[in-house]
Amino acid sequence: MERIIFLVDMQSFYASIEKVTHPRFRHKPVVVAGDPNQRSGIILAACPLAKASGIKTAEPLWQARAKCPEVEVVKPHMALYIDVSMQITRVLEKYSDLVEVYSIDEQFVDVTHSVHLFKDRYRMAEAIHDEILDTIGIESRIGIGPTKVLAKMACDHFAKKHPTGMYELTKDRIQVELWPRPIGDLFGVGHRMEAHFKRMGLYTIGSLANHPLIWIKKRFGINGEVLYRFSHGIDPSPVTKHTHIKQKAIGHHMTLPRDYVKREDILVVLRELSEEVARRTRKQRYLGSGVSIYVRGHDFNRHDGFKCQVKLATPTAVSDDIYTAARQLFDQSWNAQPIRSVGVTLTHLEDKMTRQLSLFDDPIKKERLAEVMDQLKETFGADSVMRASSLTDAGQAKIRANKIGGHWK
């Protein structure tokens, strides 16, 4: 039996919630943006009225105001958005027990075994759309396909522009509807991979689909084969509620409020990121044996920066171990250019209970001390205990203690 999968996407999610919460914005162009005095002064979401004026997501706030001087700017309320996302999940669970949260505003639903309760898949999609609109007040778009990747691309490239907000992409229509599209429209292809494909002369999804797989695998390995399969609509991955239970990595990324040019300032942020990664790793009772860092330069248009990683001698959940590795990686790769964003990730995760202890090093003592610090932060707030370096101008921990995902709660 061929599967029937929906990808339910909320239209202008953050901005739509603000318009529902504040009726005075109903007929006005609204954008959700961070602090205009900081680097976070970029557009996170724009309602359809704002988009009609040419405003785009991720552009600077000053550009948006130049395009639409009357635009209403609202700071993000992340706790509210998370709560609404969970409400939407509960609505979707009425239609299927297989609901997978893909992001805060997108969720996969496998309706293969429940679609018979409706006349057809379109009637079911309409019912989902109408219930979300009636109960929460937000418009949704729904992509339909026999695989998750086709449902996702049906939503992104077709449903969002279709009058009904719904679209089905079937395997027999891939050559006609998907293959002529630019290679950058293929799910999983980012800016760097797009540039690699174009250098190979692969400008469309169809050109990748018809390129010899052996050469794709030789050039890009398993990732190349996955993308090749996606171009044919092949994606056997199931819709599961347990997708995020077993993680492969835990990372934390930060866009800085200004260009950081001094090594000592950047190291302050690297230590803060290492501590946050370690805290989250301990909370989920994992250990990790790989550390990677991601650094991006001040010019976002050039996509400059670097990403590198190292394997640790023993798995850890201690911030000092993670920071030491991150600092070494940074010193090896940094070219002294201004830094705009930085991230630290702990990889190769394993269950804490499976650890093999060393005869020469006892990490338990360090972990217990760290767990006490975790408990203090849980009880008295994330900024109740921190290093003195975080109180310098370079530190961001105190500011971010009152944020969710880098945005105000």
Instruction: Summarize the annotated binding site as residue ranges.
Output: 9, 105
Query: Could you please report the per-residue DSSP string of 36-79?
Result: TTSTT-BEEEE-HHHHHTT--TTSBHHHHHHH-TT-EEE---HH
Q: From the candidates 18, 72, 106, 276, which is the catalytic residue?
A: 106
Question: Which DSSP string do the residues of 321-390 spell out, in sequence order?
Answer: HHHHHHHHHHHHH--S--EEEEEEEEEEEEEGGGPPPPSS---HHHHHHHHHHHHHHHHH-TTSS--GGG
How many CB atoms lie under 10 A from the CB of residue 284? 15
Radius of gyration (C-alpha) of the chain in whole angstroms:
23
The count of C-alpha atoms lying within 13 angstroms of the C-alpha of 48, restricted to the half-sphere facing its C-beta, is 9
Please, what is the angle between helix 78-92 and helix 13-21, to 10°? 100
CA 82-47-138 angle, to 5 degrees, is 50
Q: What is the DSSP string of 145-165?
A: ESSHHHHHHHHHHTGGGSTTS
106 catalytic per annotation? yes
Kindly tell me the burial class for residue 393, based on how many C-beta atoms sit within 10 Å of its own C-beta (0-12, 13-18, 19 or more). Answer: exposed
Query: Can you list the pairs that 160-164 forms with residues at least 24 positions away whose Cβ atoms lie under 8 Å?
Result: 160/9, 160/11
Q: Which residues pair with 310 in a beta bridge?
A: 291
Closest CA to 91 of 128, 122, 123: 128
Give the whole-angstrom CA distance, residue 302 versus residue 184: 17
Give yes or no for a contact between 100 and 111, defined as CB atoms under 8 angstroms apart. no
Binding-site residues for Mg(2+) sit at 9, 105
Torsion of CA 35, 389, 254, 281, to 10 degrees: -130
Residues marked active site are found at 106
